[in-house]
Chain A
């Protein structure tokens, strides 16, 4: 199984500032068949199901504000939230689908307001 490791486990950022969350996979999730990284990001607010933010490592899902951006390739990925808003308080998960049996998620990163 591909192991996904996020860092940090939690972070506190001031409103209007930038938050950066990292995700590392135990093996590359880049597939040469379509030159894409099989990596997604989700946001889970308290008491809610996860919401897909990003897929193909850097493609924003429909309706996701452009304050959310993502980058990386191979084994190292980053989710960046610019101009942090109060509604961004959530747990964020990365997920690989390069090896979909099983699909695996990172352990999550809790984002709070400082």
Chain B
């Protein structure tokens, strides 16, 4: 059974940093692109970043470029999102998802709240 479990969400002050993790199981995560998608409270879905199978290709939405870094550890089946210089508008539930065009599996999400 495919499972994606995110962790690392927290309350952080503006300008702070946070690292999100996503543990993948039930499939070979090294065989597929992986993606982070976020959802602000009561709002819609926003694609954030994606990474290819070996980590050599990484892409970001403009609003997080230079502040967020996506990475993966295929040996341990983990996906990460390092977030720096966090802003209030980064507050959201962050989902990791399998795929890069469409997303057939999603985690339950982890909540990031940026507030003073």
The chain A residues found within 8 Å of chain B, CB to CB, are 38, 40, 42, 48-52, 55, 61, 93, 95, 97, 100-108
Contacts and interface: CB of A to CB of B under 8 A. Distances in A.
Nearest to A61: B104
B11 interface: no
B44 A100 contact: no
Given A50-B103, A52-B103, A102 B109 contact: no
Given A49-B95, A49-B106, A101-B59, A38 B101 contact: yes
A49 B46 CA distance: 13
B7 interface: no
Interface residues of B, number: 17
Contacts of A48: 108
Interface of B: prevailing SS: loop
B95 A105 contact: no
Contacts, number: 43
A97 B104 CA distance: 14
A107 B47 contact: no
Contacts of A103: 47, 101
Question: Which of A38, A42, A50 has the most chain B CB atoms inside 10 A of its CB?
Answer: A50
A24 B106 CA distance: 25
Given A49-B108, A95-B45, 12 more contacts: A48-B108, A49-B95, A49-B109, A51-B106, A52-B102, A61-B104, A95-B102, A102-B61, A104-B47, A105-B47, A107-B44, A108-B44
